[in-house]
Amino acid sequence: MRRLIAAVVVTALALTLGGCSMPAESRLDDFHAEADRLLADTVAVVPEDLIAQRAFSESEPRFGPTEGAAAPGDPAWWQAREDLNLIAETDASASAFDAVSGYLSQEGWSQSRVREVDGWVTEGFRKELDSGEWYIEVTWVPSAPGLAEILGVLVVSPQTVRGDAG
C-alpha cells in the first residue's frame, strides 16, 4: 500500500512540476490565416485603376530573440506584407491611402502617425480582436518630384510562442 501511495505522489508531483514548464500552445497557424485575410481585405479596397503592379508580397512567421538554441516557448508572431506600385499620377499614393485609412477606420481600427522619413509617411492602425491586439502599418508617399507613387501594407499578429515552427 505504501508503494502505491508513493507512486501516486511521485506521479502527481511530476505532472504538476512538468506542467509548469510546458509552453503555451502556439497560435502561429491561426495567426497566419488571419494575417493573410486582413492583408487581402485591406489591399482589396485600393481602387484597381490606381495599381500599376503588385510589386512584392510575403507572409511568414517571425521569431523573437532567444538565448541559445530556439525553443518552443520562444516569442513568435506572423507578418504579412504587400507593396503596390501605383500609376504615375499625382496623388495616386494619397488616394490609395485615403481608401485604406477610410476602410480601416470604418472597421474600428485606431490610427496614429508612426513616422515620416524622406517624404515617406507611415501610419499605424491597431485593433483588439479575439486573439489579441493586431497592427497594420500603411506606408505611402505624398506626391513629390522624384518619389514613386507606392503603397505598402504590413500586417502584424499578436505575439504567441514558437511552438514546433522551424
List Cα–Cα distances, 81 to 10, 11, 58, 78, 156, in angstroms. 50, 48, 5, 10, 9
pTM of the complete model: 0.82
Looking from the CA of 13 toward its CB, the CA atoms found within 13 Å total 6
Cα separation, 135 vs 62, whole angstroms: 14
Q: What is the pLDDT of residues 145-162, one digit of tens each?
A: 777 899 999 999 999 999
At 127 the three-state DSSP class reads strand
Q: What is the pLDDT of residues 72-106, one digit of tens each?
A: 899 999 999 999 999 999 999 999 999 999 999 99
Retrieve residue 161's grid coordinates: 510562442
